[in-house]
Structure 1
Amino acid sequence: MSNAKEVTDTSFQADVLEADKPVIVDFWAEWCGPCRKLSPILDEIAREHQGKVDVVKVNVDDNPAVASKYGITSIPAVYVFKDGDVAATSIGARPKQHFEQAFAEFLG
């Protein structure tokens, strides 16, 4: 399983919206096969860009308020938050290179 911090409806404000650096949020669910395939890719990105960006996970089944607020209807959904706002998104399991290109400006 992933090393990424689990964020909840309760902790989302502090962990993501008030973070002092960009945060990559992986919206996922236990039953989602593509989500499980994506997890090690995001863990690798987190390790390689440690200190520049945080990577966290939100289980959409356990945290419906956050999922609803951001209109998550397909998972995996990966959002980058910067200064409390959605700065970039990617829907679906993609190769590492996709995320490195799509989120390059946040990875330093």
Structure 2
Amino acid sequence: MKKAWLAFAIVLALIGYSLYSISGSKKEEKAKVGFHAPNFSLIGLDGKTYHLSEINKPVLINFWASWCGPCRAETPVLIRLYKKYNGKFEILAVNVTANDKQENAKKFAAFFQIPFPVLFDKNGDITEKYQVAHFPTNVFINEDGEIIHIADGILPPETLENIIQKMVGE
């Protein structure tokens, strides 16, 4: 009888642990192609709070750092494409402030005269949620909020524009 209760208790504990593990993984929302982009709210250089969920058009999230050479090379291309496709998509330039200095990020934005929102990920939470390992990393999100492409590292300008065209439906 004791063995039956022990077996029952073990089975019950395993079921409980499995349910806990499943519910915990749902809370850990991570970015993946083909899935809905995890929402976030960050403060911008302009002092406003930006919520990904409130942007009702395609979005390119650009993770960058002021000390990143490829980020410096890519920024003028992003600005050109942002102006070319005026209003068809939004760029959120997320500075990985946990690995950078906010003052350097401000100087970077001023130097390039970045026309799109520059946001600060001070604790690195969004960088982690989007599993950013390299800079720059670009996350392309369609108008339905689905991630259609993630690019680690700098892309050739033609490739970047092709993905943007796909994202905006051109």
- Measured against the shorter chain, the TM-score band is 0.7 to 0.9
Using the alignment, how far apart are the partners of 2:141 and 2:42 within structure 1?
15
Mapping for residues 3-14 of structure 1, pairs under 5 Å: 9-10=42-43, 11-12=49-50, 14=51
Is 2:141 aligned against 1:81? yes
Instruction: Decide which structure has the larger Cα Rg and report it.
Output: 2
Using the alignment, how far apart are the partners of 2:41 and 2:80 within structure 1?
22
Bigger fraction of residues in helix: 2
Other-structure match for 2:92: 56
Count of equivalent residues: 100
Bigger fraction of residues in strand: 1
Aligned equivalent of 1:94, options 138, 143, 155: 155
Note if contact 1:8-1:58 (Cα within 8 Å) is conserved in structure 2: no
Other-structure match for 2:129: 69
- Normalized against structure 1, the TM-score is what? 0.80
Code of the residue aligned with 2:166 in structure 1: it is E
The secondary structure found in structure 1 opposite 2:81 is helix
Can you give the 5+ residue segments of structure 1 that lack an aligned partner in the other structure? Answer: 1-6
Using the alignment, how far apart are the partners of 2:76 and 2:68 within structure 1?
14
Is 2:89 aligned against 1:29? no
Can you give the 5+ residue segments of structure 2 that lack an aligned partner in the other structure? Answer: 1-39, 44-48, 99-120
Other-structure match for 1:45: 81
Note if contact 1:27-1:58 (Cα within 8 Å) is conserved in structure 2: yes
- Normalized against structure 2, the TM-score is what? 0.53
Code of the residue aligned with 2:95 in structure 1: it is N
Write out per-residue CA displacement over residues 9-52 of structure 1, whole angstroms, 9 at most, x where no aligned residue: 3545x2x2331100111100111110011001011110010121
The secondary structure found in structure 1 opposite 2:91 is strand
- Structure with more relative contact order (C-alpha pairs < 8 Å, separation 6 or more): 1
